[in-house]
Every structure is written in C-alpha cells, then in structure tokens.
Structure 1
C-alpha cells in the first residue's frame, strides 16, 4: 500500500475507530468516471472531496461524482461574496492531502465540510484514501458520522 494511503488507514483506525478497506488502482482514479470504471460502480457513488475558498475560509464540499459544484450557488448557500477553487498549496495546507486524494474526513485543519445529499441515496459510496490511486468504500451513514457535513444545495449535473 502507498505510504500516504497507509497513513490514512492508520489515522482512520487510531483516531476514529474506523476500519478502512483501501483498494488501490495503479491506473489511477483521478476522475470520478475513472474511479467508477475501476471499481465497477455508478459514478454517483463516487465521493468527490472538493476544496474551495469561500471569502477567506477553506471549505470542503463532498459531492457525488455525477454532480458538479456551482461556485455561485455555493457562495449563496454560504452567504459568501466570493467562492473559488482552492489552489494545490491551500488544499494541502488545510487538509493535509493532495488534490485527487483528499478523503472526506481526517483533515489537517478543522474545516467546514458540506454535503451533496444525493450521496445518501446509495447503499455504499467510495471516497479517496489519501492518493489519486487509493479509494475505500463506506456506507452513507458512516460518511455522515465521520465527516459531520452540513447539507447544501449547490450542485448540478457534471
């Protein structure tokens, strides 16, 4: 297992008591479509952990792989003047993970997490486990319990 995915697995167990079953795909799971094809699941079951800066605050938005975040709608939902995608340095500093491998929880800083509730319609979803090649399954209720997200309506079809 990649050392970063191993670090995620250890932290999940040690800090949350959550046993993670990581699956790695050498061809990568960089996009939701790539991940769904590798796992053999619906694109809507892929949890994208996207990092944004709302005004000056970093936030993480968990959205289904078949949805996209509308920055305008997110700004409205968060009552922010400006929302933009975080740059790679901001992502790494706030979450402790690199773009493409950000899990839905276990972030370096305490950042607000928001949820696309369409993820809750599935029996199982898949999320990044620290690297663009590593993912893990979890049930939507586990996602809610571990990430403690706030539902938002800032999504559209990808």
Structure 2
C-alpha cells in the first residue's frame, strides 16, 4: 500500500527530512498511494496497530501553539491536559496550524517547523518499539520511536488524558 519515495517531491517533506538529518536521523519517508485520513487507515496501510500511529494535533494553549503527538489509540482530553499544563487548550484553526508548523492539517510532522513549537508526546507511544509519524504531507509517514520523538522535538512526555 505504500511506496518508498527516495527523493521527496514536496517542500514541507524536504524540511522534515532536513530537520531529522540535523538530529542524526535518516528514516525512510514512505508515501501512501492514496489519502489516509484517519489513524486507523494509516495503520491498516502499514499493517500495524493503530496505537503505533503518532497523530500530530495542533492546539492553542492560552493562544500559543501546542503540538500534541498522541497515539492513534487515544483522544486528547483538552480540559484535563490544559489543567496539567496550567492553561486552557482550544483547537487551532487551519491557518494557525499552517503558520505554526509550515504544514497543513493531516500532514503535520513532529519537526520541520519555522520555529520551535511546544510539544507534548503521549507516553502511550512508549509501549511500541516503532511508531509512525507524519512527514510534512498528508500522504507521508516515517518510522521512529517514542524516545526519538521526545529527543527531536524537545517534547514533554505526558499522558494526554486522565488516567483511568
């Protein structure tokens, strides 16, 4: 279902690849043949568990962009997470997402942004040896790990909803 794309043909993907390379990472960027609009569709295309998909969700924490890398098996409890972070979380408009990340909704990568974005990394992702994150375009992903996501983003490991 995916085909390797040795030379990305999109500027946002190029920026993600460059940002990863600056961190010493050179993962293979995979391009999906068609649109995968949900974590479940991406997981099915890769033949993995949905929890291995690192969804990149951009919110506003007291009007400042906040990137939450959450497991595809989770929903972010914005009220709970906002309280944990000491503020109020709301949805970011597509324009704010693009301004903060240089990427569009559906393809937001953990890196490759015009400037650093405060990031929270869902600790549920640590359960997997390999997780998959968007690579700057809605049809791209790359393999990584929880520890690498935390390192390359400077992110804070955290639950994204109240413990059950």
State if a TM-score over 0.5 links the two structures: yes
**Aligned counterpart, 1:74:** 81
After superposition, give the CA deviation of every residue in 1:20-50 in whole Å (9 maximum; x if it has no partner).
Answer: 2011112122210111011110000000111
Q: Which runs of 4+ in 1 moved over 2 A?
A: 4-8, 151-156
Q: Are positions 1:46 and 2:53 aligned together? A: yes
Contact 1:73 1:153 in 2 (8 A): no
Greater displacement, 99-108 / 2-11: 2-11
Pick from 3, 10, 15 the counterpart of residue 18 of structure 2.
Answer: 10
> What's the CA shift for 1:8?
2.2
CA 1:110–1:7 in structure 2 vs 1: closer, same or farther (change >3 Å)? closer
| C-alpha contact 1:45 1:119 (8 A) present in aligned 2 | yes
Partner SS, residue 62 of structure 1: strand
The structure-2 alpha-carbon separation of the partners of 1:6 and 1:109, relative to structure 1 and needing over 3 Å to count, comes to closer
Contact 2:76 2:160 in 1 (8 A): yes
CA distance in 1, matches of 2:15, 2:101: 14
Partner of 2:30: 23
- Structure 1 unaligned residues grouped into runs of 5+: none
Aligned alpha-carbon RMSD (Å): 1.5
Q: Which one is further off, 116-125 or 140-149?
A: 140-149
TM-score (norm 2): 0.87
Which whole-Å CA distance do the structure 2 matches of 1:41 and 1:6 have between them? 25
Which residue, 80, 91, 109 being the options, matches 2:97? 91
Do the aligned partners of 2:124 and 2:159 also contact (CA within 8 Å) in 1? no
Task: Say whether the 8 Å CA contact 1:92–1:99 is kept in structure 2.
Answer: yes
Aligned equivalents of 1:11, 1:118: Cα separation in 2:
24
